[in-house]
Amino acid sequence: MNDQLENEEISRRKFFMKLSLGLAGLSAAVAAVPVISAVLAPLLESKAQKWRTVGKLNDFKINTTNLVTFINADPEPYAGITAKSAAWLRRSSDTNFIAFAANCTHLGCPVRWEKDAHLFMCPCHGGVYYADGSVAAGPPPKPLTRYQVRVFKNEVQIKTAPLPITSIGASKSQPA
């Protein structure tokens, strides 16, 4: 009888030991999820690029700079308005276009083109850029990001790209 009680005690102890180990393993796995996600996030980030039409060739007069919008390369189905990006598109000749991201390289505010001053101005902290996108004044750490542009079948297209904005602490790529 004593042997039977002893055996029951041992098997109960074994069961609780296994249960404890199982729960400890599960807790460790749950705790590791955010850490693993943080490590993998940059690797999983979309690098997708696509050409997007922003208008017909004749929609843009030579020596003008226009705001254009386009759908990002791989928007999430729930993205809504955030699936769109904007760029300032300048037509400098019959076939030459330059496109600047509309977001300031300081904290990402939308910059506006001041036609008369020939400058891009950021309303948030007074960032100013020259017409070629380089920094003229204020806190922006680097020039406006450029998009690739092409004319394809009489349409002007911009190549979408993830923007390296909000680069606080990044070293300045432009002389002050």
- Judged by the rule CB under 6 A, the positions of this chain that interact with ligand FES are 104, 106-107, 109, 122, 124-125, 127, 138-140
Residue among 75 and 108 whose Cβ is closer to ligand FES = 108
Report in angstroms how near the CB of residue 71 gets to ligand FES at its nearest.
24
Could you give the 3-state DSSP secondary structure of residue 14? helix
Distance in Å, CB of 120 to ligand FES, minimum: 10
- Judge contact between 141 and 105, C-beta under 8 A: yes
Token pair, residue 92, equals 């400098």
CB of 101 to ligand FES, least distance (A): 12
CA distances, 78 to each of 74, 75, 162 (Å):
12, 8, 18
Sole residue written with tokens 């950021």: 122
CB of 124 to ligand FES, least distance (A): 4
Coil, strand, or helix at residue 138? coil
The smaller minimum CB distance to ligand FES, of residues 136 and 151, is found at 136
Listed in sequence order, the residues at least 6 apart from 73 whose beta carbon sits closer than 8 Å to its beta carbon are: 46, 48, 49, 50, 160, 161
Q: What is the DSSP string of 44-67?
A: HS-----EEEEEEGGGS-TTEEEE
